[in-house]
């Protein structure tokens, strides 16, 4: 078997930056298609599937590179490391997008959400929609958005890592 052991840190860094690259490329594609503020559910589901797949693959690669053995704690460290690195890079991209690339991002997103609310709820008044948008605006700055990105990545990464870790864990015989 393989004599060289890989650490959770090495795997987390490699796969974290791989996932971050995917997130940034996807974000730029959505920007160039002028869809980056629409929160498309299909795009969101595909992104969740890719995040899960990269974390699962990273954990299984750690197990493979370590003679087929992995502890639950190693699976959690690997998955959370991947999610953290990806989340930090994605948060930085979000700050750059909102601050420099598209300074009108927040306004576009809130206007799109208001139009969507009014379409789905024809009985809602424009005043009520405006009040909801004003409340959302308070939680829509680049730093708050970035914090949510990191928190969501860590939460989703933890859940996926825990499930996969419980499935693939295998202790070394003593």
Helices 41-65 and 72-96 pack at an angle, to 10 degrees, of 140
On average, the pLDDT of the chain sits at 92
% of residues, the chain, pLDDT over 90? 67
pLDDT at residue 4, rounded to an integer: 53
The 10 Å Cβ neighbour count of residue 117 is 14
- pLDDT band, very low/low/confident/very high, at 133 (cuts 50, 70, 90): confident
For 56, the token pair is: 């699962």
CA distance 131 to 169: 50
Average pLDDT value for residue range 56-63: 97
- Which tops the pLDDT comparison, 111 or 87? 87
Q: Please give the average per-residue pLDDT across 9-25, as a whole number.
A: 97
Quote the pTM value: 0.90
Is residue 122's pLDDT more than 80? yes
């Amino acid at each position: 078997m393989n004599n060289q052991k890989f650490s959770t840190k090495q795997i987390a860094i490699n796969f974290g930056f791989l996932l971050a690259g995917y997130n940034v490329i996807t974000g730029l594609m959505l920007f160039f298609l002028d869809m980056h503020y629409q929160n498309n559910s299909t795009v969101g589901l595909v992104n969740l599937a890719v995040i899960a797949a990269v974390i699962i693959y990273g954990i299984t690669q750690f197990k493979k590179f370590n003679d087929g053995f992995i502890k639950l704690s190693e699976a959690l460290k690997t998955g959370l490391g991947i999610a953290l690195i990806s989340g930090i890079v994605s948060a930085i991209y979000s700050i750059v997008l909102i601050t420099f690339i598209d300074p009108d991002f927040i306004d576009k997103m809130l206007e799109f959400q208001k139009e969507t609310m009014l379409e789905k709820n024809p009985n809602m008044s424009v005043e009520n929609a405006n009040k909801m948008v004003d409340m959302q605006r308070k939680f829509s700055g680049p730093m708050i958005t970035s914090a949510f990105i990191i928190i969501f990545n860590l939460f989703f990464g933890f859940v996926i890592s825990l499930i996969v870790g419980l499935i693939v864990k295998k202790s070394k015989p003593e």
